[in-house]
């Protein structure tokens, strides 16, 4: 079943869920988590996106984001 197109409006809160392939763990160790947080931080700055909440679970993990200028 095809999914609906995302409503992508700057300033609108987005609940993003990241899931690993075949529900396998996304993060294998603490270094993976640290690397992800570093990359996420840079991406949030570059795209002027606010991150209000996250939970670095092995699979899946949620993010609550608000893009302020550019679309996600």
Residue 72 has pLDDT above 60, yes or no: no
Percent of the chain, pLDDT > 90?
A: 54
- 11 and 70 Cβ atoms separated by less than 8 Å: no
- 65 and 52 Cβ atoms separated by less than 8 Å: yes
CA dihedral 23, 29, 34, 39 (to 10 degrees): -40
Could you report the per-residue pLDDT of 45-62, keeping only the tens digit for each?
Answer: 998 999 999 998 888 989
Q: For the whole prediction, is pTM greater than 0.95? A: no
| Per-residue confidence (pLDDT) for residue 71, from 0 to 100 | 58
Residue 38 has pLDDT above 60, yes or no: yes
């Amino acid at each position: 079943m095809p999914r609906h197109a995302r409503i992508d409006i700057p300033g609108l809160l987005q609940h993003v869920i990241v899931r690993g392939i075949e529900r396998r763990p996304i993060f294998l160790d603490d270094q993976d988590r640290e690397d992800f947080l570093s990359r996420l931080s840079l991406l949030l700055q570059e795209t002027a996106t606010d991150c209000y909440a996250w939970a670095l679970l092995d699979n899946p993990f949620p993010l609550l984001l608000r893009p302020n200028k550019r679309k996600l």
